Amino acid sequence: EPITIKSLSSATGIKTADIIKYLFKQGVMATINSAIDTEAAMEVALEYDIELEVREQQTAIDKLKEAFDKRERIDVRPRPPVATVLGHVDHGKTSLLDRIRKEDVAAHEAGGITQHIGAYRVTIEGSEGAEKTVVFLDTPGHEAFTSMRARGANMTDLVVLVVAADDGVMPQTIESINHAKAAGVPIIVALNKIDVPQATSDNIQKIYGQLAEHGLNPVEWGGETEVIKTSAEKGTGVTDLLEVLDYQAELLELTADFGGPAAGRVIEAEMQPGRGSVARVLVQSGQIKVGDFIVIGRAYGRVRDMTDDHGRQVLEAGPATPLEISGIDDLPDAGDGFYITTTLQAAEQAASQFREVERHQQLASKTKVTLDNFADQLKAGKTRELRVVLKADVQGSADVLRESLEKLGNNEVTVRVIHSAVGGITESDVLLADASEAIVIGFHVIATPTVREIAEEREVDIRLHRVIYDVTEEVTKALEGMLEPER
Ligand code: GDP
């Protein structure tokens, strides 16, 4: 938990105004909710002859996580990649996922039954006879992708960007590219609807050009980006796509410890009649067994039964396995972590502390980047980059602004526009800013009250302007810490 002016004041009895004044004299602009580092807090307290003892608060779940991170690895092996499908609406994300599912050899064994459990595992007989497995998260689209990331739960190793051959790169394609890039996740392109008459080689070359323009230079053009021609309708290219995903996973050297007690993340959770709370999870490490004690976000319990993506009961499972589990006392949130504990008591304790922390979430939330506090964070060495999501009314302004903003960087700090597009500020822009610790700048555009509300909740700084000079001046001042605090 960061120390804020407010918490420092209530711990020491020093008035917040006095703390702010003291910091101001030191050249630090702060408001009542600003976070300050431990040293600065001690310095302020010393001014008032108060010796401040700062204790790191560690919850049971932190300890589980730490113990997990530090434990000895038992059986580290390569693991299948986890992929998410992104792309513009109607370009074929859902159809492609459906078609991929049909390629699964295990589905044939299970009589073709598939169960929606938030993710599924597809195994194919590779071209050299070796089995190749890929896990797909079942909710396509960058909103789901980025809202998971905003919760600190990046489960995706690879993004499959679906681009329809008859439509090319569209606004949500660009959004998807920027969301994937901001997450640092490699992109493989599925050039879909390759069966339609408009998929002429001329049009394909044109789309390659659009992709290259957005930093995805196709391998066919000597670049780095794999572009696989697919038809979700006819099934063309689907095994090629799976092979490329498998190959990319190899390049990323993805591994997991297949031994020891399991850990993983929640994909989704729901109440089911007769079963109570069930959680759909992805095992990321170790082994989970029926009968294990488990803490899973605010919930805990003993694993009663586990079902796989073909509706089959399983008794034990390892990394990269999506499962539906029952036996827990409450519904966890998507993105929450789970851990296996040695006793039921340990699981209960971790869950109850999780609930406790949740109650004080305001305090526990990470320091948000705002233009007001950016210089402080820069000085404290917490950042060297101001990230911006930029929305403008016309492309020309977006381009000019992007260039002007990125020019403001110097030796100490860079300004990076992680997404720029034409149009009003959307929920997805706010999510991206939240997940990437960025601010949002709108030029001649607005944010609807709903979007503003979400931004306020997530403490995402939105700045609206109508004059280019005002934008650059504001950012320049923020970089130098010369911005007059708002409020
Ligand atoms: P999403 O919005 O990206 O999930 O797109 P959908 O999967 O819902 O597909 C949108 C439309 O495109 C549907 O009518 C599909 O039948 C059609 N479609 C998807 N993939 C293909 C394809 O490869 N070829 C053709 N001809 N149509 C496709």
Cβ of 91 less than 6 Å from ligand 1: yes
Phi, then psi, of 333 in degrees rounded to 5:
-95, 155
Distance 89 CA to ligand 1 centre (A): 9
Tell me the CA distances in angstroms from 121 to 81, 100, 226, 234, 245, one per residue in order: 10, 10, 22, 21, 13
Average pLDDT over all residues of the chain: 90
**Which residue, among 386, 387, 363, 371, has the nearest Cα to 29 in the 3D structure?**
371
Give the separation between CA 380 and CA 460, rounded to whole angstroms: 20
Contact 208, 228 (CB under 8 A): no
Distance 105 CA to ligand 1 centre (A): 24
Region 290-303: mean pLDDT is 96
Amino acid identity at 88: H
Distance 236 CA to ligand 1 centre (A): 13
Distance 100 CA to ligand 1 centre (A): 13
The ligand 1 atom at the shortest distance from the C-alpha of residue 89 is: 2
Asked whether the whole model's pTM tops 0.95, one would answer: no
Region 202-221: mean pLDDT is 97
Query: Mapping DSSP to helix (H, G, I), strand (E, B) and coil, where does residue 195 land?
Result: coil
Cβ of 402 less than 6 Å from ligand 1: no
CA angle (450 as vertex; 447, 456 as ends), nearest 5? 80
The ligand 1 atom at the shortest distance from the C-alpha of residue 98 is: 7
Q: Name the token pair of 344.
A: 């039921």
Region 287-296: mean pLDDT is 97
Is 33 within any annotated ligand binding site? no
Distance 85 CA to ligand 1 centre (A): 13
* DSSP letter for each residue of 399-411: HHHHHHHHHT--S
Residue 257 has pLDDT above 60, yes or no: yes
| pLDDT (tens digit per residue) in 138-164 | 988 898 899 888 887 889 999 999 999
Region 184-204: mean pLDDT is 96
Least confident of 214-228, 252-266, 357-371: 357-371
Cβ of 172 less than 6 Å from ligand 1: no
Q: Name the token pair of 452.
A: 């503003």
Query: Beta strands 385-392 and 438-443: pairing type?
Result: parallel
Confidence bin at 365 (pLDDT 50/70/90)? very low
Residue 193 has pLDDT above 90, yes or no: yes
* Predicted complex ipTM: 0.99
Residue 361 has pLDDT above 70, yes or no: no
Atom 19, ligand 1: which residue's CA is nearest? 92
